[in-house]
Amino acid sequence: MLLFIAFPLVSVVLQSVHTPHEAVLVTVETCGPFGCSQETAIDQDATSALRTSEPLGRFVGFDIYLDRAHLAVGEVKEAWAVADNWDGFFDAIGNLPFYRAMAFTLTFTFTVTPILIIFGLMIALGVNALSEKIKGVVIFVSLLPMIVTPLIGSLILFWMIDSRGILGNAIQWLAADPDLSLKASTILTWVMLIVYGVWHSAPFAFVVFYAGLQTLPMDQIESARIDGASRWQQVRYVIVPHLMPLITFVALIQLMDNFRVFEPIVGFNAEAHATSLSWIIFNDLGGETRQLSAAATSSMLTIFGVAILLSPVLWRTWQDFKGKS
């Protein structure tokens, strides 16, 4: 298992500080079904000598981290020097791929995570109060958003919210605007992705909280009730503290997953309006020429981002640990 954990990490770190050798280009005649032309190609003999001497490529340190496709330090400095007000500065920054992706990713992470935790908890409490007979069916149905393959799930929803689909029509009718299209507006696309994010992940929070509710100490609830606690107070002071480790866990996993948001962007064809770091990696690796170093650097930035995001949760876990030993 260590092999699978350590090896990729090391290789990604190495890849992010190396780039391929400078290509030796030559102009050659290329012929095909549609005639001949002069085209540029790589001189393999000259390049292969370079490759064998340094198989990892050129060492470039943190150059890739700082280039335009990533932290874009030079561009940010220039924007700072040129802009006369904050608006101009943010416009210039928002035009850089990394910051544009961060704007969406952070908005998505910090709206979806709290909403889905509250939503999941509400469903869990609700289902727990249902009668035994219908519990089974409700649990199964609640899991459907998670079970239906995200690839197809988002495709189906994508069609339902099309301006001619059933949900799209319903929204047009509700908004009394026959030309409204969710897919053509940036703000509405963001809202759509956030709603999808909550819908897709709420079952996860629900199942974890529901399992946790099964171990709820009944005598504590009992004594709270005898002390005259209202139902809200029982939830607030007995149930939530009991579920706290699970809430922390769900927050941890969901912060991480939402920060790496990827499938909804591809499924909803939303790349014109919203991008994320994972989408940038996908884009770097998906072209005809794969940009491995750029993808490795974006992966490292994702890991740093997750580490910063989780630091409060991790701090808590660390405190628990120290308390224990």
Partner 1 sequence: MMSSVANRYPLHLRALIYGFILLWVLMAAFPFFWTLWGSFKVELDFFSIANWTNAITGQNTFNTYGSSFTDTGYLGAWIQEEFWRSAINTSIVCFFVVCTSLTIGTLGGYALSRSGYRYTFWLLITALIFRAMPPITLVSGYLLPFFEWNLWGILPTTIIVLVAINQPFTLWMLHSFFQSIPKELDESAKVDGCSQFQAFRFVIIPVMWPGVITTGLFSFLLAYNDFAVTSMLLSDENRTMVPKIAAFLGTTYTEGNVMFAVAAVVSATAPLFILVMFFQRRIVSGLTAGAVKG
Partner 2 sequence: MYLKNIALASAVAIMASTAAHACNISARVSVVGNEFPAIQTVGAGAQACSGGDVSTNLTADHQKINVAGMSGNPAEYTSAIIANSSIVALMNNDVIRPLDDLVAKHGKDLKKNQLITINGKVMAVAFMANAQHLVYRDDVLKKIGMEPPKTYENMLAAAEKIRTAGIMQNPVGGAYKAGWNLAQEFNNMFLGYGGSHFKDGSAQPNVNSEAGVNALNMMKALSAYMNPDFLTHDSNATNAEFRAGNVAIMNMWGSRAATLVDVDGVSAEVKNGMNIAGPMTVGGGNTPASTLWWDGWTVAKNVSDAEAEATFIAMMNGIDPSILKDEEIRKQAVWLIDGYSPTDAARGVFAAAQASTIPYPMLPYMGLLHTALGAELSDFMQGKESAEQALSDVEAAYIAAAKEKGFL
Q: Which single residue is written with the structure tokens 């580490």? A: 307
Question: Of these, 2, 3, 32, 323, which contacts partner 2 (CB under 8 A)?
Answer: 32
Question: Of these, 29, 132, 179, 227, which contacts partner 1 (CB under 8 A)?
Answer: 132
Of residues 97-156, which lie at the interface with partner 2 (CB under 8 A)? 97
* Residue 17 touches which of partner 2, partner 1, none (Cβ within 5-8 Å per kind): none
Instruction: Return d(Cα 300, Cα 16) in angstroms, integer.
Output: 8
Question: Of these, 115, 224, 235, 306, which contacts partner 1 (CB under 8 A)?
Answer: 306
Site string for partner 1, 71-110 (x = CB under 8 A): ----------------------------------------
* Residue 234 touches which of partner 2, partner 1, none (Cβ within 5-8 Å per kind): none
Say whether residue 187 binds partner 2 (CB under 8 A): no
Q: How far is the CB of 119 from partner 2 (least distance, A)?
A: 27
> 10 to each of 2, 59, 68, 241, 257, how far by Cα in Å?
12, 15, 24, 40, 22
Q: Which one-letter amino acid corresponds to residue 202?
A: A
Radius of gyration of the chain (CA): 26
Of residues 260-289, which lie at the interface with partner 1 (CB under 8 A)? 260, 262, 277-278, 281-282, 285
The single-letter DSSP state of residue 57 is: -
Say whether residue 14 binds partner 2 (CB under 8 A): no
Say whether residue 152 binds partner 1 (CB under 8 A): yes
**Token representation of residue 321:** 């640990």
Strand pairing category for 35-42 and 58-59 = unpaired
Q: Pick the closest to residue 258 from 115, 122, 129, 130 (CA basis).
A: 115
Side-chain half-sphere of 66: how many Cα atoms within 13 Å? 7
Q: Which is nearer to partner 1, 92 or 224 (CB)?
A: 224
> 137 to each of 132, 141, 144, 150, how far by Cα in Å?
10, 6, 11, 22
Q: CB atoms < 10 A from the CB of 289, how many?
A: 6
Question: Of these, 186, 230, 233, 311, which contacts partner 2 (CB under 8 A)?
Answer: 186
> 53 to each of 14, 49, 57, 172, 291, how far by Cα in Å?
17, 7, 9, 63, 22
Site string for partner 2, 210-249 (x = CB under 8 A): ----------------------------------------
Site string for partner 1, 207-246 (x = CB under 8 A): xx-xxx-xx-xxxx----------x-------------xx
Instruction: Return d(Cα 25, Cα 183) in angstroms, integer.
Output: 43
Site string for partner 2, 271-310 (x = CB under 8 A): xxx---------xxxxxxxxx-xx----------------
Instruction: Indicate the length of the chain as a whole number.
Output: 325
Contact footprint for partner 2 (CB under 8 A): 19-23, 25-34, 37, 39-42, 44, 47-48, 58, 64, 67-69, 75, 95, 97, 158, 162-163, 179, 181, 183-184, 186, 268-273, 283-291, 293-294
